[in-house]
Amino acid sequence: YGKDPKFKAIEKMREREHLFNEWRAEQQAEKKEEEESVKEEAPREKRESRERSKERRSRDRHESRGSRDRNESRDRHSRDRRDSKETKANKIKDDFMDMLKHGDVRISPDSSWSKKKKYFSDDERYIAVGSSSTREGYFYEYTKSLEDREPELSEAEKKAIAKKKKVPTATLR
């Protein structure tokens, strides 16, 4: 402060302190007045806010009958859309499984998707399934269902399958 020309204009230190204390007292008085005016306005604002919320609750109570109907209608519509998406997805899956079951390509429980998928690539049911990973998942789900059906085979059918799987030893020599 010693370099400020206003500070140097007052020669005595006591006078400087006195002027500073007066300035500080003025600042505190202004601050106090602001706080009091805010305190006076706050209860009025609270009262007005309470009145507005009462009016809103009253209005909402009378209008709520219509909004409940709108909410129910919206919920019903979204539920119907979700159900239709699920049924569409299930139909696509069923069609794909039907393609695997009744297709020209023989699929066994140990079949590989990478070797069999090229036979189905032109089929509409194959294209309808959007994701290749989903197609592969459906394929392996189908092969697993074939594994589950195998125990139901008769003994003669099991022997025939085992015979096909065996490699003749005479050709290996």
Cα–chain center distance at 95:
29
pLDDT at 62: 56
- Which pLDDT score, from 0 to 100, does residue 27 have? 95
Residue 105 region, left (φ>0) first, then alpha (ψ -120 to 50), else beta? beta
- Contact residues for 64 (Cβ-Cβ < 8 A; gap 6+): none
Residue 62 CA to residue 158 CA, distance in Å, equals 74
Digit-coded pLDDT (tens) for 40-81: 777 777 777 888 887 777 766 655 556 666 677 777 878 888
Q: Provide the pLDDT for residue 166.
A: 61
3-state secondary structure of 154: coil
- pTM score: 0.44
Q: Which residues contact 99 (CB under 8 A, 6 or more apart)?
A: 120, 123, 125, 126
pLDDT of residue 173: 46
Q: What is the pLDDT of residue 52?
A: 81
Residue ranges in the chain whose pLDDT is less than 50: 173
**Number of helical H runs and strand E runs in the chain:** 6, 0
> Is the CB of residue 161 less than 8 Å from the CB of residue 153?
yes
